[in-house]
Structure 1
Amino acid sequence: MRWVTAELQSGRLAIGDHLPGERALAETLQISRGSLREALAVLEAIGTIRTSTGSGPRSGTILTAAPGQALSLSINLQLATRHVEHSHVLDVRLLLETWSAEHADLASGDWQATERLLDRMDEPELPIADFLVLDAEFHAALAHAAGNPLISTLMDALRTSISDHTLERATAIPDWAATAARLRAEHRDIYRRLRADDRDGAAELLRAHIRGYYAETSQGSAPAPVDGA
């Protein structure tokens, strides 16, 4: 990882470049080919490289550097070990998503793709799990409109965690159809505010939307205080 990072920083490697062959790379790093294969397997697991067999420009080991994948793995591990609680996910979502809405740029959003997500969530027979995956994609798409690549990466990394988090909490919802209808309406309102360049209004709606779902799925317990509320 240190070698890849140094090569990227120096400009000797760029995203999409092929890494040297195993023999040359093992000699460069002064390690055995067996150790190299283990290291490459780890880098592929965290999204730094992609390895493809065969021939052609897409074969071999290609540098992809998808940090969202590594962040998502780390976040999911944190959630699985209970080091991160639902209230922590809530805090991070409020910080990232309201900031993104307040700094949204109409020219930076992929609004057609965002509207397609809303349309897909309107399907009446959509399973809860599928709805919440689309819900997380919608929230990540809104964050992209801020034009901040680090915020976008963080939201992309959180996307799986958000859908898993909201699905786990959905078990506390007595009437999913009513909740889904409310979420759809809130999504449309947030979307319309952003398209109208009412960024502060969209941020307020997002804050209420996220907190509302958390409160509804708290099984009778009050939501954790956020921002002094």
Structure 2
Amino acid sequence: MTETGDAEKPAPTPARAWRVVLEKIENDLLEGTLGPGDRLPPERELAATLGVGRSSVREALRVLEVMGLIRTATGSGPTAGAIVTATPQGGLAQLLRLQVAAQGFPIPDVYETRLLLEEWAVAHLAGLSDTDLADARATLAAMDHPDVTIEEFLSLDSQFHLRLTEAAGNVVVSATMAGLRTTIESYIRSGADRIPDWGTTGERLRHEHADILAAIDRGDAEAARSLVRSHITGYYADAGLPMPTDA
């Protein structure tokens, strides 16, 4: 009779088998066995090594792909199979969007997080000697078009702020902002309906955007930080949106 200590561990149940694959790949990433650009072992090999079905391997790979940790391609050749990606910001952004959609993040928390990220981004940009802000400038130019609608203006406004965080060069910051963008657009759009004189407000926002860029261009980090904070909080107050400290 085989002793308990020598008995083989039971195979994982199908409902949890895909987690075994996830844990294996996670451990390999943490230990440095796998890294960006590396190809995962074939499905058949992973299934045999881990004692799970190939369907469980495929389920785990789908989860990793949604998370942005791998990309998969069929066929043969150097681009086929499952390959570890170097910049999984798309997956992070998608997960944040889903959490917000499921009301996992309260809107006041999103607002405060936006302030933290954007204040850091503009101050960081102001400290750089060579920064490409062409996309941000192009967005502002589009906002100045005489025929731009309120909806288009607000969409471009959100895009402008996203372009600034992207230009700062921190992929985690830009991915977080991208994940929060839908929610940010939602509350600035709903707030616009409560602004009695949109023409005046829109003109003020245009000037504030230009002032933020000007502070970045002259390397004034403190001014850039102060301007972006007053810009965001000012709109929040004008639109009648509840501040995070409200009861």
TM-score, normalised to structure 1, is 0.80
Q: Which residue of 2 aligns with 1:8?
A: 29
CA pair 18-101 structure 1, distance change in 2 beyond 3 A? same
Residue 85 (structure 2) aligned to one of 64, 80, 89: 64
SS, match of residue 166 in structure 1 = helix
1:108 Cα shift?
A: 6.2
Match in the other structure for 1:37: 58
Uncovered stretches (5+) of structure 2, i.e. residues with no partner: 1-21
1:17 to 38, 52, 62: 38
Q: Does 33-42 or 103-112 show the bigger shift?
A: 103-112
Instruction: Say if 2:116 is the partner of 1:101.
Output: no
The residue aligned with 1:191 is: 213
Query: Which digits, 9 at most, give the CA deviation of each residue in 1:95-117, with x for residues without a partner?
Result: 22113333333246322232222
2:63 pairs with 1:47: no
Q: What does the per-residue CA deviation read over 1:109-133, in whole Å, with 9 as the maximum and x for residues that have no partner?
A: 3222322222233334445454444
Q: Which residue of 1 aligns with 2:163?
A: 141
Give me the whole-angstrom Cα distance separating, in 2, the residues matched to 1:76 and 1:123. Answer: 30
Partner deviation per Cα, 1:58-112 (whole Å, 9 max, x = no partner): 3332222654334333433333333433222211111221133333332463222
**Alpha-carbon separation, structure 1, partners of 2:228 and 2:183:** 18
Matched, 1:223 2:217: no
User: How many residue pairs get matched?
Assistant: 224
**Whose radius of gyration is greater, 1 or 2?**
2
Contact 2:95/2:179 (<8 A) preserved = no
Aligned 8 A contact 1:98 1:203 in 2 = yes
Unaligned 5+ residue runs, structure 1? none
AA partner of residue 165 (structure 2): A
* Structure 1: distance between partners of 2:38 and 2:152: 35
Q: Shift in Å at residue 153 of structure 1?
A: 3.5
Q: CA distance change for structure 1 residues 43 and 173 in 2, over 3 Å: closer, same or farther?
A: farther
Deviation at 1:207, TM superposition (A): 0.5
One-letter code aligned to 1:202? A
* 173 and 66 in structure 1: CA distance in 2 versus 1, 3 angstrom threshold: farther
1 CA distance for matches of 2:69 and 2:225? 33
Question: Could you say if the C-alpha distance between residues 99 and 48 of structure 1 is closer, same or farther in structure 2, counting changes exceeding 3 Å?
Answer: same
User: Is residue 2:132 matched to residue 1:110?
Assistant: yes
Report SS of the residue matched to 1:51. strand
In 2, Cα distance between equivalents of 1:60 and 1:127 = 46
Partners in 1 of 2:176 and 2:82 — Cα distance? Answer: 25
Q: Which is further off, 91-100 or 68-77?
A: 68-77
Q: CA separation in 2, counterparts of 1:222 and 1:197?
A: 33
| Contact preservation (8 Å) 2:109, 2:244 | no
Partner Cα distance (1:127, 1:30) in 2? 58
1:198 Cα deviation from its structure 2 partner: 0.7
**2:11 maps to what in 1?**
none
Q: TM-score, normalised by structure 2?
A: 0.75
The equivalent of 2:176 in structure 1 is: 154
Q: How many angstroms apart in 1 are the aligned matches of 2:54 and 2:130?
A: 44
| Match in the other structure for 2:10 | none
